[in-house]
Structure 1
Amino acid sequence: MRHIWEHGDKRIDRTGVGTRSIFGTMLRFDLGDDRIPLLTTKRVFWKAAVREMLWFLTGHTNIRPLLQQGVRIWSDWPLAKYRQKSGEDISQEDFEKRIVEDEAFAANWGDLGPVYGKQWVDWPTYEYGADGKYTKGPGINQVAEVVESLKANPGSRRHIIEGWNVAELDRMALPPCHKTYQFHVAGEGDDARLNCLLYQRSCDVALGLPFNLVGAAVLTRMMAAQTGLRPGELVWSGGDTHLYLNHTELVEEQLVREPAGTPRLSLLRTPPTIFDYRFEDFEVRDYEPQGILRAPVAV
């Protein structure tokens, strides 16, 4: 964060807010001994990050299930769309309340398009028929396929979950930022460890990165449990890695704080499939963060 703030290029971005940005970065975290990359220099709402990851795995693309659990992190995009299309200057609280209480309203205004989970568990396919026309084929569950490939062929270099479906980007509320997950098995037998490399094409370091690290760690832990492997290393790689210019207060406050403690994440059970986890299966302990730091989301 300090390096970006002091040395990053000042750039005009899609949102119009402006950023300081560097390109091509890497962070590495050991997930052994239940460690989790959970920032202590500010409070990270890890429960929301876990709920979001479980929502991705359902393949759902509507924010209603998230809001029903009190997770508001995806509201900004459909809210902006509703305000633009309807002309109604509705508050975020009232918009979210309508999404939760009115199923028809949620169906019309709460969907994000084919983001993340849709691509992960139902990547669309098309079949070329004898009549010379293409018809929709069965969706591909990338997550399930990677679980099976890790079991059957751990040495493969194709354990990849991809969210960047070029054909559907224009239908998404926001094209995937954390777009590619690649898994790698190191060692053999009882020492075999599951590593994960997450490539993030665009990273809001102040707000997005803390969430993304928790989500990637949780996904890696679930994948390891489902494949009988020990948790290994989480490698995070960023493309355009940036801080928004209107995050000055957050950045400067966070940079004077000192990290403390080693948070741990426990998985309390291993369900039959990776799609059967519940929020109650996750426990974070030894997490004593400093105070909440807030900043506006650039939409």
Structure 2
Amino acid sequence: MKAYLDLVRSIFEQGAWQDNRTGVRTLSLPGACLRFDLRQGFPAVTTKRLAFKAAMGELVGFLRAADSAADFRALGCRVWDQNANENRAWLDSPWRDGPDDLGPVYGVQWRQWPAYKLLPADAAARIEAAQARGYRVVGPVQDGGAPHVLLYKAVDQLRACLDALIHDPGSRRILFHGWNWAQIEEMALPPCHLLYQFLANPATRELSLCLYIRSNDVGLGTPFNLAEGAALTHLVARLTGYEPRWFTYFIGDAHIYETHVDMLREQLDREPLPAPRLHLSDRIPAYADTGRYEPEWLERLEPADFVLEGYRHHPPLTAPMAV
């Protein structure tokens, strides 16, 4: 994958050394962008072996709103073990609920974003309108000395995106994100890949994704996140009647950990191989073929439903994850 290697070169050539919370220095570059035409293949790194099954396990965990490292392990993904059980700040946090707990990370925000409304008790029309949109009354509260009503619902952002692709595909508001300021302190790790915007072209029946990542570990995280974002685009396209097209990957802080330098320099010496293809299991319904909208498949997926075909790669390379 040439674009990935070009990013690595740019960081080596233009990045600056910085200290950070992990204690492992990074060579950091502010602002980076990768762009892939998904018609030309799947953006899997080929200069080392991509842990594709683990990446798909993590994606499925996100889709299921997993909040425990044990949930991810059951799906074949162990990348959350250290953040759950070895991060000193999280181990000391009053929000941690025992071994393997992660708090309301990623998928919890994607699928169960906690939404509240505090309305005056006499605002009957507003309360009724909120209830019509799925809010339920939690109870009466006093605010500023006046009686109010607190209402709550869990917002399924991802499902709302699929609904919009079916009913309002020309919208430029089809997005979801995971940066919930009210719950950041309750998470083992705040979201890095945090904003996903779907852009549909109803005329060509093509679906594109723009993904913004605030902070990206280019050695270990970028290959994982590229695979997950591209696979999600394929999946959402299948469920809503589109063909996957452009995948644009924006990074705020693109960095290489000092402990990853040797691994990445070795990759730069390797020739990238042709991109593989992604095959989605035939059991996942294609809206374009059936005409039936079945968003419940977001919860039915298994990691084995995602298969890389024709994936050729160089030998594996490993490096420690900074926590």
Q: Same fold (TM over 0.5)?
A: yes
Query: Cα offset for 1:282?
Result: 1.7
Superposition TM-score, scaled by structure 1 size: 0.88
**Root-mean-square deviation (CA), in Å?**
1.9
Aligned to 2:248: 235
Letter in 2 for 1:109: P
Matched, 1:108 2:108: no
Aligned to 2:82: 76
How do residues 93-104 of structure 1 correspond to structure 2 at under 5 angstroms?
none
Query: Cα offset for 1:107?
Result: 6.4
Distance in 2, Cα, partners of 1:134 & 1:202: 39
Indicate if the aligned counterparts of 1:46 and 1:214 stay in contact, CA closer than 8 A. Answer: yes
Q: Which runs of 5+ in 2 are unaligned?
A: 1-7, 122-139, 143-147, 286-293
Aligned to 1:59: 65
Query: Cα offset for 1:79?
Result: 1.8
Indicate if the aligned counterparts of 1:220 and 1:231 stay in contact, CA closer than 8 A. Answer: yes
Matched, 1:173 2:188: yes
By percentage of residues, which structure has more strand? 2
How do residues 26-175 of structure 1 correspond to structure 2 at under 5 angstroms?
26-32=33-39, 35-81=41-87, 108-128=98-118, 130=121, 131=140, 132=142, 135=150, 137-175=152-190
The size of the alignment, in residue pairs, is 277
Aligned to 1:9: 16
Matched, 1:210 2:223: yes
Query: Cα offset for 1:111?
Result: 1.2
Superposition TM-score, scaled by structure 2 size: 0.81
SS of the aligned residue for 1:138 comes to strand
Larger Rg: 2
Letter in 1 for 2:311: Y
Distance in 2, Cα, partners of 1:84 & 1:62: 13
Q: Which runs of 5+ in 1 are unaligned?
A: 87-105
Indicate if the aligned counterparts of 1:20 and 1:245 stay in contact, CA closer than 8 A. Answer: yes
Identical amino acids, percent of aligned pairs = 39
Query: Cα offset for 1:186?
Result: 2.4
Distance in 1, Cα, partners of 2:90 & 2:207: 45
SS of the aligned residue for 1:49 comes to helix
Aligned to 2:317: 293
SS of the aligned residue for 1:109 comes to coil
Letter in 2 for 1:67: R
Q: Do the aligned partners of residues 187 and 220 (structure 1) sit closer, same or farther apart at CA in structure 2, a change above 3 Å counting?
A: same
Give CA deviations for 1:15-54 in whole Å, capped at 9, x if unaligned.
1211111111111111126x21001000011111111111
Distance in 1, Cα, partners of 2:89 & 2:28: 30
Distance in 2, Cα, partners of 1:2 & 1:47: 27
